[in-house]
A and B are shown apart, each in its own frame.
Chain A
């Protein structure tokens, strides 16, 4: 499965949760599949989906799911120790690991070679870390939500992107409706 197929499958689970979605094609895919006020789309700032979602989880009680990518986590590796040392129960970091930089032409990442992001998350101090195969994502995500434990999920899947339109919504509109959804 490629990322867009996974997002389609887990959209009914994500719909009720606060989601911070990674820059580029992942946000475009989620926006096209199931746009929700509870989705915060990153339009820039590669690497910070995990940090934004983590700050949000620490600031309030609702569950927050950051949908990140292997390439983006590699660009902000300092996030893993910060998460590992401060993990609350209401945060899930889902790293969709397709071993490539999808938004820039599917160039390979080191996570698709010798680097093991799940092992890095564990070494950084994250307690609940699971590696999941693409086909199991929905069931595992639901299990993690039901467990009520802060968790890092590394979802292994195929490289590739769905052709989706660019998000034209104004960033302040995205942010404002998201904040209203957070506060509701």
Chain B
């Protein structure tokens, strides 16, 4: 089974049926898989804070949401995470492409990578880092944990997890 299929299988098994995405090369296969599943309503958003608003509404409407985005978006969603998701106590699994880690070819990505964990830590957001493919075995438990405690939870997936960036 591909890792993309495994991730989306775990989402479906945990009744996640509303997924918003902002494009990412590493997560492209997951996004494609999300789009293909009948059990999931997929709605691309233009910016991650907009997507978190959609997820908040969907959850209040009775659906379990998730957002798929890049770690750079942590920089643009701090206010939304604090004043919407956390303030109203809402669950939100965030499957995040962790750009700027080992094997990264684009220097600028490192600039947000060095702040990513510090910001998540400052926000008291439970954070899991997938570095090896077997780390994804915990995804099912992480999703159950997220909907148990009604918090945003970050799942950082780095380049090593995805097998690098291709021709390097």
Which of A's residues lie within 8 Å of B, judged by CB? 20, 40, 42-45, 47-48, 50-60, 64, 76, 78-79, 81-82, 86, 171-172, 174-175, 178-179, 182-183
Q: CB distance A58 to B88 under 8 Å?
A: no
**Complex interface: stretch among B53-61, B139-147, B159-167:** B53-61
Within 32-55 of B, Cβ neighbours of A (below 8 Å) are at 41, 43-47, 49-55
A99 to chain B minimum Cβ distance, whole angstroms, is 23
Residues on A with C-beta less than 8 A from B54 are 51-52, 54-55, 58, 82
Residues in B whose Cβ lies below 8 Å from that of A45? 49, 53, 79-80, 83-84
6 closest A-B pairs by CB: A55-B57, A51-B53, A44-B83, A59-B61, A78-B46, A48-B53
With A and B bound together, what is the CA distance between A59 and B43 in angstroms? 11
CB distance from B74 to the nearest CB of A (A): 16
A55 CA / B58 CA spacing, docked (Å): 5
Please measure, in the bound complex, the distance between the C-alpha atom of A165 and the C-alpha atom of B49, giving whole angstroms. 28
Output the least CB separation between B48 and chain A (Å).
10
Q: Which residues of A contact B90 (CB under 8 A)?
A: 175
Inter-subunit contact B50/A58 (CB<8 Å): no
**Can you name the residue of chain B whose Cβ is closest to the Cβ of A47?**
B49
Interface size classification for chain B: 20 to 34
Interface of A is mostly: helix
What 1/0 mask marks residues of chain B from 100 to 119 whose CB sits below 8 Å from any chain A CB? 00000000000000000000
Q: Does B18 contact A (CB under 8 A)?
A: yes
Known: A55-B56, A58-B18. A79 touches B87 (CB 8 A): no
Q: Are B87 and A56 touching (Cβ within 8 A)? A: no
Q: State the CA gap A71–B45 with chains docked (Å).
A: 20
- In the complex, besides A55-B55, A76-B53, A81-B46, 18 extra interface pairs with C-beta distance below 8 angstroms are A44-B82, A48-B49, A51-B50, A52-B54, A52-B60, A54-B53, A55-B59, A59-B41, A59-B60, A60-B61, A79-B50, A79-B53, A82-B44, A82-B45, A171-B88, A178-B60, A182-B60, A182-B61
B93 to chain A, nearest CB (A): 15
Are B63 and A59 in contact (CB-based, < 8 A)? yes
CB distance from B60 to the nearest CB of A (A): 5
A58-B83 in contact (CB<8A): no
Contact of B62 among A43, A44, A79, A183 (CB under 8 A): A183
Residue of A nearest to B18 (CB): A59
Pair B58/A78 contact, Cβ less than 8 Å: no
Residues of A within 8 A of B83 (CB): 43-45
- Of the A-B pairs whose beta carbons lie under 8 Å apart in the complex, a sample of 15, sorted by A's number, is A20-B57, A45-B84, A47-B49, A48-B53, A52-B56, A54-B57, A55-B57, A57-B57, A57-B61, A58-B43, A59-B58, A79-B46, A82-B45, A86-B43, A172-B88
Most chain B CB atoms below 10 A, which of A78, A82, A179, A183? A82
- Min CB distance A61 to B, Å, is 9
A64 CA / B55 CA spacing, docked (Å):
15
